[in-house]
Structure 1
Amino acid sequence: MNSLHLPKNLTSGLHFFNNKRTTIDSEKFFDVYEQRIGKIVTKCPISDKNEVDKIVSLAHEGQKKWSSMSPMERGSVLKKAAEIIRLNQKEIAEWEVKTNGKPINEAEIDISSSANTLDFFAGIAPQALLGDFFPLSNNRQAYTTREPFGVVGAIGAWNYPFQTAMWKIAPALAAGNSVVYKPSPFSPASPVLIGEILVAAGLPMNTYCVIQGEGETGQALIENKLIRKVSFTGSVPTGQKIQQACARRGIKPCTLELGGKSALIICKDTPIDNAIAGSVLANYFNQGQVCTNATRVFIHKKMMKEFEEALLKELDKILVVGDPLDKKTNVGASINEPHLNKVIGFVESAKNEGAKILRGGYRVHPKGVEEGFYFEPCVIGNVTNEMTVAREEIFGAVMLLISYETEEEAIYHANNTEFGLAAGVFSSDLGKAQMIAQKLEAGTIFVNTYNDCEIHVPFGGMKNSGIGRENSLSSLLSYTQEKTIYINLNSKVEHGF
């Protein structure tokens, strides 16, 4: 089995092309932080339009060999990459912590699921890409083929840098495309390591490349004429700009996984322990930096007091903010200081609008990592659905408690948002829970659970939360173009007139 030599410093050489970690000459740079200690660890050169165009051209050439391989042959490379990840899972997870700030326990899950992602798409591609056959009348037939687009331009998010990169890279490669990937400048290192893993597994030259930069770099990538499909994870405003750019540049198909402002409805028949567990599941993983998080927790008016008291007691017992490399920590560092201050600003705005801060909501300085970007997880009570904090995506560990009197009222307020990524409902009555789930306007609904995510199950949003689906067969097919071919088997052709 191929092995991987992990570099001593993942922040040196943050570009990837010609099948190796490298750097470029550039007049512009951005700072790269290690969030857990709050320090700049390097400066990354930014890819300008000329650099982007050069890399896309390399990927265009690299795709030719890759697409000429059978799905089974491509799948063999992806499966080798999955095995390399598993052999180096502990070390990769530690690097993920250092380049993102999430707790090591969560990082290990992300890395493991990324290997599963490669295995899944490698496994389904040979059958899924066969196409269909149609016998027709008058000695005719038709069949379809699934063909890759060519070069895919992928732009990733910073909250799950290794895992969400793999959600795009694995299906795109399995379908026979090459990929040019632009990470978020807030967590730029993981996709470069993915490149080294893929090359160690046997990926052909320039089938996968990484560029670095901010908005201008992403724009140059999307507008390059050789990019035939775009996949983006990020904010709604950026997603809207990308969709417009795709329409201007030849009607390029795009998958957009955007923001959310999800709601969790706790019915009054829910056992209090289950209500608390569901609310925690929906809010505090990854420092609250999860797009599906149900920051709006709707609690029946008659159970609000009991719920608040029990929730605060439980959170004081279970939440540990600290060095994310410590196994005891379950709340790590925020992605950067401006984002940390933004989350604190939301807490202050809620207080100014009449809400009550029940716990947390401020910066903390854990022992040994005092300069890192740490936030004490927050619970805010006396919230109404009209408050700023209940309308805008916070992307931090802030739970909002909103009371309701009828389930119809809760459903109305849950749906009264521009977003539609996820939602949840807890109830002892599964029939009632299913009814509420049918009425909630979101791409994923959780019933008596929250934030489940399986690679073979579609994931994506409704309304302003995006278009298209990640994961599952749906994702693989979205990286292909369907071609239909008609064949007349008759030796004599009739003109029809």
Structure 2
Amino acid sequence: MGMQKFVIPKNLTKALHFIGGTRINLGSYNPTFDVFEPRNGQVLATVEEGKRSDIEEAAQAALGAQEKWALVSPAERGMILRRVSDIIRHNVDDISVWEVRDNGKPISEAKADILSCADTFDYFSGVDLNGEHIPLADVDERFAYTRREPLGVVGCIGAWNFPMQTASWKIAPAIACGNAVVYKPSPLAPVSAVILAHILHHVGVPDGLLNVVQGGAHTGAAICQSRAISKVSFTGSVVTGKIIAQNAASDFVKPVTLELGGKSSCIIFEDSNIELAVTGAMMANFFSQGQVCSNASKVLVHKSILEPFTKALVERTSEMIIGDPLNESTRIGATISAEHLEKVKGYIDGAVEEGAHLIHGGNRAVVNGLPNGYFLEPCILSNITPQMKVYKDEIFGSVLLIIPFDTDEEALRIANDTTFGLAAGIFTNNLSKAHGFARKIRAGNVYINTFNDVSPYVPFGGYNQSGYGRENGKAAVEHYTQYKSIFVNASNKLENPF
């Protein structure tokens, strides 16, 4: 008999905590926060903030589920993860609408994000958890072998810019490796993770394998400090990442994965295909209203092609449709919040005051029928100096900085002139130069003649202040398992060293 069809609950926003296999509201004494829908500025949900006691309840539910889940064979776990992937694909349209209402990005982007989540569950359904056999003598009487074992309960703290994708990048490898999860979404975009919890419940994982507890900084601190939680994975800002690392070591030491921000560069060399490079620069700045950690706001352009590149960039940017993110034709949706819109606008206005030249955009946009939505025109600035805040800070908005350069050495120096190290882009037809620069740039992800590509097969993470640890690929398995080394003497002899 086939499995019953999955349906997203109609009353989804009425209860956004998922503990022990059930969607619940927390106690009336918990403080609450409002979640706003970016496209119209209206309240989408009012949510109770999880307290330490709620985190402990979720962690205990996870411990019970993890004991059962660890006994499930990797092959059977893989089959279950593939079912999750199938449900995501079959419900991509409905899930994408919630992603748009939650986050504000265009629905065309949301659909691509949701399908990438299905790819992630597919990839980790076949993850290799095999250990090694290590001979210690010529005859097979002395040997060792290793086992990869789950950590137990993993605490994951997600970001608002890719709500479902952030959740999938953490939850899929964690449960594939035999762990259970306590997940805290960003309070700005809390819905997607709850849909994912419903999907996992639907495919029959043990109750409590994935728990979702909503909240802000206090809830996140409780996850880091819970003795029932053995590891923490966080995606977000450097400031919060430092606090996460400190909290995770404040009582019981536990490993932490930090996927933090960036201040990346995209280098456009003189031999670049200008049309290709313009597309790459837009991909490096305008996805998800510029709210992408790997974005390259510093677009370094060789002076010999500066004029045609800038002209083509402005033309292409001016053609992008700003509108209701639920419309398929929209390419620029809504910023995550009114506060964040003002922050990005503040960077633009501050740069102009410091002497930057506003080439295009940068104004608040009004969309028909959505007068209270958080819309901002994509912005292009030139005449940038290293002393400006926009040169140094992660803007996290659609603000593209055109910075001319003369020599390869100058381009490399500007690209590496940052405390971050998440990404970099290189546009050139000279593959020798491209690979040479890829080696010299201090960043965890380098894109050659493309930008902001991701794949579940490929590790993602940064250098320096952009964090440590990796998500996706075989590297992720290292962060959700622990090695056990077992030494064996099968000779029935043991020399007495005393």
Question: What TM-score, normalized to structure 1?
Answer: 0.97
Q: Deviations over 1:368-392 (max 9, x none)?
A: 2221100000000111233100100
1:131 corresponds to 2:139 = no
RMSD: 1.1
Shift of 1:323: 0.3
Match of 1:217 in 2: 219
* Counterpart-to-counterpart distance in 1, 2:124 and 2:30: 39
Amino acid across the alignment from 2:353: N
Question: Which 5+ residue runs of structure 1 have no aligned equivalent?
Answer: none
* Counterpart-to-counterpart distance in 2, 1:357 and 1:194: 42
Q: Quick one: which of 76, 83, 88 aligns to 1:85?
A: 88
How do residues 278-293 of structure 1 correspond to structure 2 at under 5 angstroms?
Answer: 278-293=280-295
Residue identity over aligned pairs, in percent, reads 46
1:196 corresponds to 2:198 = yes
Match of 1:444 in 2: 445
Question: Which 5+ residue runs of structure 2 have no aligned equivalent?
Answer: none
How do residues 343-492 of structure 1 correspond to structure 2 at under 5 angstroms?
Answer: 343-492=344-493
Q: Quick one: which of 212, 230, 233 aligns to 1:231?
A: 233
Q: Secondary structure at the match of 2:23?
A: strand
Q: Deviations over 1:88-124 (max 9, x none)?
A: 1111111111111111111111111111111110112
* Counterpart-to-counterpart distance in 2, 1:328 and 1:368: 16
Match of 1:54 in 2: 57
* Counterpart-to-counterpart distance in 2, 1:10 and 1:375: 29
Amino acid across the alignment from 1:288: G
Match of 1:324 in 2: 325
Amino acid across the alignment from 2:476: S
How do residues 130-279 of structure 1 correspond to structure 2 at under 5 angstroms?
Answer: 130-137=130-137, 139-279=141-281
Amino acid across the alignment from 1:130: N
Shift of 1:438: 1.2
Match of 1:339 in 2: 340
Q: Deviations over 1:71-96 (max 9, x none)?
A: 11211211111111111111111111
Amino acid across the alignment from 2:13: T
Match of 1:34 in 2: 37
Shift of 1:18: 2.1
* Counterpart-to-counterpart distance in 2, 1:357 and 1:263: 19
Amino acid across the alignment from 2:487: Y
Q: Deviations over 1:29-82 (max 9, x none)?
A: 111111111111221000111111121111111111011111112112111111
Q: Secondary structure at the match of 2:482?
A: strand
Q: Secondary structure at the match of 1:370?
A: coil
Match of 2:14 in 1: 12
Q: Deviations over 1:283-326 (max 9, x none)?
A: 11111111111000011123222222221112112x11100010
CA contact 1:10–1:95 (8 Å) conserved in 2: no
Q: Secondary structure at the match of 2:215?
A: coil
Corresponding residue pairs, total = 493
Amino acid across the alignment from 2:429: S
Shift of 1:10: 2.9
Shift of 1:492: 2.6
CA contact 2:20–2:58 (8 Å) conserved in 1: no
Amino acid across the alignment from 2:332: V
* Counterpart-to-counterpart distance in 2, 1:271 and 1:171: 38
CA contact 2:30–2:51 (8 Å) conserved in 1: no
Q: Secondary structure at the match of 2:46?
A: strand
* Counterpart-to-counterpart distance in 2, 1:136 and 1:476: 26
Match of 1:301 in 2: 303
Amino acid across the alignment from 1:122: S
* Counterpart-to-counterpart distance in 2, 1:335 and 1:460: 23
CA contact 2:20–2:62 (8 Å) conserved in 1: no
CA contact 1:385–1:402 (8 Å) conserved in 2: no
